[in-house]
């Protein structure tokens, strides 16, 4: 079927264009990365048309991974927005042909301001290629468009090279997940990366704790009162020694009710899973899900002195959107 054939051909052409980019990761690429690392201000990305759309995404990726960046429309730049560019900035100018008039027209002014220019283009001999300080080759053998007109493979290659640039910078900067969280505080991603166990755990009066010498009946009353289906068990010094759950109680009741008058320490889990309060809430969910032979729904939160300072329940994590 022609529809499927054309779709597959498009993907093959674009995949080939991206594959070819590996040959362009050379000393010039490294020099461009170093130029951005040495930048004392911001990266200004500019491009016209489809290159502009790709440029916006590249700027956004750079900004979210530790490189201050923004997009500047070249037509608006020619009418005043060049005031956003300083001599300490690095300008990434994107044009596959290297001859886009809107880009070419602002190059002399950018040079006069004193900013460094990195070109992302498919033609080194173009006006952009000749005017830049560093050149990143994004050229493709052909577009996926059957007319050879609509930017397709070239925009895909530009986007991929922009990602390569951002990831190289991210790696050299030793950008961590904590850094990433700082720039992504909103939505589910922000919750996963910023929310700590301390933010969701039940603590104080809400934290169910029972002494190891108390009876199972006492523990049952405490668990019922707190409504979390579990309680941390402590010794006489307040140190955590185990966990009692409603599951343990139910399984014991199926055999005999006499255990209710026995000490909790006789039936508790002696080495349950625990977590620290400064861990990410997402880590708590991971620990719960990976427990064998079946997932658990509660985690005692233990401090450095081995005291149970809280307890985390699965429903609290789900309520907070930590999924």
**Where in the chain are the domains?**
2-175, 197-319
- pLDDT for position 161: 97
Is residue 182's pLDDT more than 80?
Answer: no
Give the pLDDT confidence of 193-231 residue by residue, as tens digits.
678 899 999 999 999 999 999 999 999 999 999 999 999
Lowest-confidence pick of 27-36, 137-146, 281-290: 281-290
Q: Which among 71, 92, 106, 86 has a CA at the least distance from the CA of 40?
A: 86
Please, which residues bridge with residue 196 across strands?
A: 280
Q: β-pairing, 230-234 with 240-245? A: antiparallel
Q: Does residue 264 contact residue 215 with C-beta atoms inside 8 Å? A: yes
- In this structure, which long-range contacts are made by residues 220-226, counting pairs with CB atoms below 8 Å and at least 24 apart in sequence? 220/246, 220/249, 220/260, 223/249, 226/202
Q: Does residue 110 contact residue 97 with C-beta atoms inside 8 Å? A: no
Q: At 231, which helix (H) or strand (E)?
A: strand 230-234
Is residue 192's pLDDT more than 70?
Answer: no
Lowest-confidence pick of 41-50, 151-160, 237-246, 314-323: 314-323
**Phi, psi (degrees; rounded to nearest 5) at 244:** -115, 135
Lowest-confidence pick of 158-167, 185-194, 201-210, 268-277: 185-194
Give the pLDDT confidence of 96-153 residue by residue, as tens digits.
999 999 999 999 999 999 999 999 999 999 999 999 999 999 999 999 998 888 899 9
Radius of gyration from C-alpha coordinates of the chain:
30
Annotation: CATH topology of 2-175: Rossmann fold (3.40.50)
316 falls in which pLDDT band (50, 70, 90)? confident
Separation in Å, CA 245 to CA 83, 87, 162, 287:
65, 65, 52, 17
Q: Which among 219, 249, 246, 220 has a CA at the least distance from the CA of 233?
A: 219
Annotation: CATH topology of 197-319: CBS-domain (3.10.580)
Please, which residues bridge with residue 301 across strands?
A: 275, 310
Separation in Å, CA 144 to CA 1, 8, 150:
18, 10, 8
- pLDDT for position 282: 84
Its pTM stands at 0.68
Share of the chain above pLDDT 70, in %: 95
């Amino acid at each position: 079927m022609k529809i499927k054939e054309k779709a597959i051909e498009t993907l093959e052409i674009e995949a080939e264009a991206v594959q070819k980019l590996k040959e362009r990761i050379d000393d010039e690429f490294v020099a461009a990365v170093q130029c951005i690392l040495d930048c004392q201000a911001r990266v200004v990305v500019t491009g016209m048309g489809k290159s502009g759309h790709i440029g916006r995404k590249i700027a956004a990726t750079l900004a979210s991974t530790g490189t201050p960046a923004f997009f500047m429309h070249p037509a608006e730049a020619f009418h005043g927005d060049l005031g956003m560019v300083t001599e300490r900035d690095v300008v990434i100018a994107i044009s596959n042909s290297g001859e886009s008039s809107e880009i070419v027209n602002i190059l002399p002014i950018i040079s006069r301001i004193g900013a460094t220019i990195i070109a992302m283009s498919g033609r080194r001999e173009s006006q952009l290629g000749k005017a830049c300080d560093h050149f990143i080759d994004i050229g493709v053998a052909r577009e996926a468009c059957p007319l050879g007109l609509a930017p397709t493979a070239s925009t895909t290659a530009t986007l991929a090279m922009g990602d390569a640039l951002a990831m190289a910078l991210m790696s050299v900067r030793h950008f961590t997940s904590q850094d990433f969280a700082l720039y992504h505080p909103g939505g589910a991603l922000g919750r996963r990366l910023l929310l700590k166990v301390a933010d969701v755990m039940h603590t104080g009066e809400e934290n169910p704790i029972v002494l190891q010498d108390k009876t199972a009946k006492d523990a049952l009353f405490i668990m019922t009162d707190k409504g979390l289906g579990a309680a941390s068990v402590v010794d006489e010094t307040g140190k955590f020694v185990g966990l009692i759950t409603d599951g343990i109680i139910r399984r014991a009741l199926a055999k005999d009710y006499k255990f209710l008058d026995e000490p909790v320490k006789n039936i508790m889990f002696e080495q349950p899973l625990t977590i620290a309060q400064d861990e990410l809430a997402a880590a708590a969910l991971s620990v719960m899900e990976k427990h064998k032979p079946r997932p658990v729904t509660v985690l005692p939160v233990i401090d450095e002195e081995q005291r149970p300072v809280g307890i985390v329940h699965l429903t609290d994590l789900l309520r907070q959107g930590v999924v």
